[in-house]
Amino acid sequence: MNIAIESRSLSVVVEDGIAMITFDAPNAPINALNSRLAGEFDAIFAQLESDEQIVAAVLLSAKPDVWIAGADIEELVSLTTAAEGEALSRGGQRMLDRLAALRKPVVAAIHGACLGGGLEVALACHWRVLSDHPKSVCALPEVQLGLLPGAGGTQRLPQVIGLQAALDLILTSRNVRPRKARSLGLVDDLVHPAILRQVAVQRARELATGTRVRADRKTSASGLLLEDNPVGRALVFRQAREQVMKKTRGAYPAPLAAIDVIAEGQSHGMTRGLEAEAKQFGALAMTAVSRELTFLFFATTALKKDPGVATSGVSARIVKRLGLVGAGFMGAGIAGVAVQKQSPVRFKDASLDRIAAGVRAVRSVLDERRRKRQITRLAFDDMLSLVSGGTDYTGFRKSDLVIEAVFEDLAVKHEVLREVEAAAPNAIFASNTSTIPIARIAEAASRPERVIGMHFFSPVHKMPLLEVIVAPTTNQETIATAVAYGKQLGKTVIVVSDGPGFYVNRILAPYINEAGKLLDEGVGMDAIDEALVAFGFPVGPITLLDEVGLDIAGKSGRIMAEAFGARMEPSSTLQRVIESGRVGRKGGAGFYAYDAAGKKEGPSGSVYALTPIAGARRTMAGSEITDRTVLPMLNEAVRCLEDGVLRSTRDGDVGAVFGIGYPPFRGGPFRTIDAMGAPDVVRRLDALDARFPGRYTPATRLREMAVLRERFYPSTGKPL
Amino acid sequence: MAVVAGVRTPFARSGTALANYTALDLGRHAVAALMQRTELDGAAVNLLVFGTVLPSVLAPNIAREVSLLPHFPRDVQAFTVGRACASANQAITDAADQIVLGHATVAIAGGAESLTQVPILHSRRMADTLIAASKAKSLSQRLGVLGRIRPRDLIPITPAIAEPSTGQTMGQSADTMAKLNGISRSAQDEFALRSHLRAAEGTRDGRLLAEIAPITIPPTHMEMLASDNGIRADSSLAQLASLKPVFDKQYGTVTAGNASPLTDGAAAVLLMREDVADAHGYAPLGFIRSYAYAAIDPAEQLLQAPVFAAPRALERAGLSLNDIDLVEMHEAFAAQVLSNLHGLASPYWAERAGFSSPVGEVDPTKLNVMGGSLAIGHPFGATGARIVTTLLNELARRGGQFGLLTVCAAGGMGHAMVVERA
pLDDT-derived band of residue A6, with 50, 70 and 90 as boundaries?
very low
Residue B69, chain A, CB below 8 Å: the answer is: yes
CB atoms under 10 Å from CB of B245, counted, come to: 17
Residue A671, chain B, CB below 8 Å: the answer is: no
Euclidean distance between CA atoms A323 and A404, whole angstroms: 8
Would you give the DSSP letter of residue A63? Answer: S
pLDDT, one tens digit per residue, over A444-488 is: 999 999 999 999 998 999 999 999 999 999 999 999 999 999 999
Residue B33, chain A, CB below 8 Å: the answer is: yes
Using alpha carbons, select from B148, B183, B149, B160 the residue that is nearest to residue B342: B183
Write down the pLDDT at residue B152.
85
Residue B8, chain A, CB below 8 Å: the answer is: no
Q: What is the mean pLDDT of chain A?
A: 94
pLDDT, one tens digit per residue, over A291-306 is: 999 999 999 999 999 9
pLDDT at B347 over 90: yes
Ranges for all domains in chain A classified under CATH 3.90.226.10? 4-285
pLDDT at B348 over 60: yes
Report the gap between the CA of A415 and the closest CA in chain B (Å).
23
Phi first, then psi: give them for residue A140, nearest 5 degrees. -115, 90
CB–CB of B226 and A394 under 8 A? no
Euclidean distance between CA atoms A300 and B326, whole angstroms: 64
Residue A401, chain B, CB below 8 Å: the answer is: no
pLDDT mean over A650-671: 97
**CB-hemisphere CA count at 13 Å for A256?**
14
pLDDT mean over A199-208: 97
pLDDT, one tens digit per residue, over A676-703 is: 999 999 999 999 999 999 999 999 999 9
Q: What percent of chain B has pLDDT over 70?
A: 100
How much is the ipTM here? 0.92
Residues of A with Cβ-Cβ distance to B29 under 8 angstroms? 385
pLDDT, one tens digit per residue, over B243-281 is: 999 999 999 999 999 999 999 999 999 999 999 999 999
Residue B25, chain A, CB below 8 Å: the answer is: yes
Tell me which architecture the domain covering A504-708 has in CATH: Orthogonal Bundle (1.10)
Euclidean distance between CA atoms A108 and A22, whole angstroms: 11
Residues of B with Cβ-Cβ distance to A381 under 8 angstroms? 25, 28
Residues of A with Cβ-Cβ distance to B36 under 8 angstroms? 344, 346, 388, 395
CB–CB of B33 and A388 under 8 A? yes
Residues of B with Cβ-Cβ distance to A353 under 8 angstroms? 223-224
What DSSP line would sit under A68-80, residue for residue? E--B-HHHHHT--
Residue A388, chain B, CB below 8 Å: the answer is: yes
pLDDT at B158 over 90: no
Q: What percent of chain A has pLDDT over 90?
A: 84
Domain B2-118+261-421 homologous superfamily, CATH: Thiolase/Chalcone synthase (3.40.47.10)
Helix axes A288-305 and A669-676, enclosed angle (nearest 10): 140
pLDDT-derived band of residue B123, with 50, 70 and 90 as boundaries?
confident
Does residue A463 contact residue A489 with C-beta atoms inside 8 Å?
A: no
CB–CB of A395 and B221 under 8 A? no
Strands A113-115 and A66-68: what pairing?
Answer: parallel
Domain ranges for chain B, please list them.
2-118+261-421
pLDDT mean over B5-20: 97
Residue B226, chain A, CB below 8 Å: the answer is: yes
Report the gap between the CA of A193 and the closest CA in chain B (Å).
22
Phi first, then psi: give them for residue A719, nearest 5 degrees. -70, -25
Euclidean distance between CA atoms B231 and B378, whole angstroms: 12
Q: What is the CATH number of domain A4-285?
A: 3.90.226.10
CB–CB of B221 and A356 under 8 A? yes
Residue A391, chain B, CB below 8 Å: the answer is: no
Give alpha helix (H) positions in A489-582.
Answer: 504-520, 525-535, 541-548, 550-564, 572-579
pLDDT at A421 over 90: yes
Residue A360, chain B, CB below 8 Å: the answer is: yes
pLDDT, one tens digit per residue, over B27-48 is: 999 999 999 999 999 999 999 9
Would you give the DSSP letter of residue A401? Answer: E
pLDDT at B136 over 50: yes
The helix/strand/coil state of A402 is strand
Q: What is the CATH number of domain A322-497?
A: 3.40.50.720
Q: Which of A344, A356, A359 sits opposite B36 (nearest CB)?
A: A344
CB–CB of A321 and B25 under 8 A? no
Write down the pLDDT at residue B58.
87
CB–CB of A356 and B25 under 8 A? no
Q: What is the mean pLDDT of chain B?
A: 95
pLDDT-derived band of residue A715, with 50, 70 and 90 as boundaries?
confident
CB–CB of B39 and A397 under 8 A? yes
Does residue B397 contact residue B207 with C-beta atoms inside 8 Å?
A: yes
pLDDT mean over B168-177: 94
Residues of B with Cβ-Cβ distance to A386 under 8 angstroms? 32, 70-71
Active site residues of A: 467
B196 belongs to the catalytic site: no
Euclidean distance between CA atoms B270 and B409, whole angstroms: 23
Residue A346, chain B, CB below 8 Å: the answer is: yes
pLDDT, one tens digit per residue, over A105-148 is: 999 999 999 999 999 999 999 999 999 999 999 999 999 999 99
CB–CB of A360 and B69 under 8 A? no
Q: Which of A388, A392, A396, A399 to mutate to test the interface with B (most CBs of B within 10 A)?
A: A388
pLDDT at A717 over 90: no
> Which 3-state string (H, E, C) describes A412-465?
HHHHHHHHHHHHCCCCEEEECCCCCCHHHHHCCCCCHHHEEEEEECCCCCCCCE
Report the gap between the CA of B389 and the closest CA in chain A (Å).
17
Distances (CA, A) of B195 to A63, A275, B370, B384: 67, 87, 7, 17
Q: Which residues pair with A13 in a beta bridge?
A: A4, A20
Residue A395, chain B, CB below 8 Å: the answer is: yes
Residues of B with Cβ-Cβ distance to A395 under 8 angstroms? 36-37, 39
pLDDT, one tens digit per residue, over A311-344 is: 888 899 999 999 999 999 999 999 999 999 999 9
> Which 3-state string (H, E, C) describes chain B?
CEEEEEEECCCEECCCCCCCCCHHHHHHHHHHHHHHHHCCCHHHCCEEEEECCCCCCCCCCHHHHHHCCCCCCCCCEEEEECECECHHHHHHHHHHHHHHCCCCCEEEEEEEECCCCCCCECCHHHHHHHHHHHHCCCHHHHHHHHCCCCHHHHCCECCCCECCCCCCEHHHHHHHHHHHHCCCHHHHHHHHHHHHHHHHHHHHCCCCHHHECCEECCCCCCCEECCCCCCCCCCCHHHHHCCCECCCCCCCCCECCCECCEEEEEEEEEEECHHHHHHCCCCCCEEEEEEEEEECCCCCCCCCCHHHHHHHHHHHHCCCHHHEEEEEECCCEHHHHHHHHHHHCCHHHHHHHCCCCCCCCCCHHHECECECHHHHCECCCCHHHHHHHHHHHHHHHHCCCEEEEEEEEHHHEEEEEEEEEC
Euclidean distance between CA atoms B333 and B330, whole angstroms: 9
pLDDT at A4 over 70: no
Write down the pLDDT at residue A555.
85
Strands A137-139 and A322-325: what pairing?
Answer: unpaired
Euclidean distance between CA atoms B395 and B338, whole angstroms: 23
- What count of CB pairs under 8 Å joins A to B? 54
CB–CB of B223 and A356 under 8 A? yes
Distances (CA, A) of A22 to A6, A9, A61: 11, 8, 5
Residue A376, chain B, CB below 8 Å: the answer is: no
Report the gap between the CA of A317 and the closest CA in chain B (Å).
16
Write down the pLDDT at residue A5.
47
Ranges for all domains in chain A classified under CATH 1.10.1040.50? 504-708
Report the gap between the CA of B28 and the closest CA in chain A (Å).
7
Residue B221, chain A, CB below 8 Å: the answer is: yes
> The pTM is what?
0.91
Write down the pLDDT at residue A435.
84
Euclidean distance between CA atoms A12 and A34, whole angstroms: 19
Which residue in B has a C-alpha nearest to residue A383's C-alpha?
Answer: B70
Euclidean distance between CA atoms B150 and B213, whole angstroms: 47
Q: Following CA atoms A680, A686, A688, A689 in sequence, which dihedral angle do they give, to the nearest 10 degrees?
A: 160
Q: Which residues pair with A10 in a beta bridge?
A: A23
Residues of B with Cβ-Cβ distance to A342 under 8 angstroms? 70
CB–CB of A395 and B223 under 8 A? no
CB–CB of B221 and A381 under 8 A? no
pLDDT at A2 over 50: no
Euclidean distance between CA atoms A160 and A121, whole angstroms: 13
